[in-house]
Structure 1
């Protein structure tokens, strides 16, 4: 299985350098979307692992499980809650491209129909550097609402300092 991971990473690096957005043959159109998704997921895992290494996370990485198996959006913030990374699949959930939300705070997804009490309890957990899990009404880029399951937790470095927060998210019914 490790050989496949190495192949996937090598293929990702090769095709990324070519800036290919889809496969050239019409008969492959059904597979191009999947190919693009695989490339994006591999890129996100690579970037998350680099973020983990650069910030010296003392954290059990579960990026592959959360992104590939559970298809969760992964959002990482700095200690001041500014978004430093969002996986590419956030576009499908709320219409924002990752680069559009970098540097902004997750509150940008909230609005009039967002439960103030749920938002407040998440804020308290973050302030106290505690894990949390909640379902909250968020807003898409087009202004429509969706219910978002969020599981968030602080990420400590090897010195025990909070260096990031990580949230796993998914739209729920």
Structure 2
């Protein structure tokens, strides 16, 4: 027992000489939140790459920049504009989980005060299989509104047909 007390005293003396500041416990929570975000983004990246392979996209998209650097929400629809994929960060933008938006149309985010002219120009671009960029007033799950920057484009297969549409989205002031 005497050896343990001597060890404890020696260890205490040693650690007191070091200039180590302990981290508050909540700092680990901040780290864990960031780590979870990186893991979710990595999972999204993997799923998007698989979707591109499965649908034989004619070109590769740099999802790394969109997801990691710019933190865009990425929404992918099929050719009939049914949502087939959304990144996990959609929930932080509008309150909807991925599961809630899959199988629905992007129109679900629009409401009474959404600009009809803007939605018409987006619809025209989609019908003409052209890229578009717009800021649209969207609605969150709780009914509140937010301005959403959307950059969309058709995705063609290697055989030249439209297989998906992709939209990069971000809330703007």
TM-score band by shorter chain is: 0.7 to 0.9
Question: Equivalent residues in 2 for 1:24-173 (5 A)?
Answer: 28-173=28-173
Gaps of 5+ in 1: 1-24
Q: Give the whole-Å Cα distance in 2 for the aligned partners of 1:141 and 1:108.
A: 10
SS where residue 124 of structure 2 aligns?
A: helix
Cα distance change on mapping 1:79 and 1:92 into 2, 3 Å:
same
Provide the aligned length of Structure 1 versus Structure 2: 149
The DSSP-based 3-state class of the residue aligned with 1:155 is strand
Query: Is the partner of 1:68 in helix, strand or coil?
Result: helix
CA separation in 2, counterparts of 1:94 and 1:77? 18
The SS at the match of 1:103 is coil
CA distance in 1, matches of 2:128, 2:78: 15
Tell me the CA shift for residue 60 of structure 1: 2.8
Choose 1 or 2 for highest CA Rg: 2
Give distance in 2, aligned partners of 1:65 and 1:71: 8
> Matches of 2:124 and 2:146 in 1, distance apart?
23
Q: Deviations over 1:102-121 (max 9, x none)?
A: 00000000000100000010
* Structure 1 residue ranges (4+ consecutive) displaced by more than 2 angstroms after TM superposition: none
- TM-score of the two chains, using structure 2 as the length reference: 0.84
TM-score under structure 1 normalisation?
0.84
Cα deviations by residue, 1:117-144 (Å, 9 ceiling, x for unpaired): 0001000100111100000000000000
Deviations 1:24-58 (A, max 9, x none): x7652110100110010000000000000000001
> Once the 2 structures are TM-superposed, how far is the Cα of residue 62 of structure 1 from its aligned partner?
1.4
Deviations 1:58-109 (A, max 9, x none): 1231111011111110000000000000000111100011111000000000
Instruction: Tell me the distance in 2 between the aligned counterparts of 1:145 and 1:79.
Output: 27
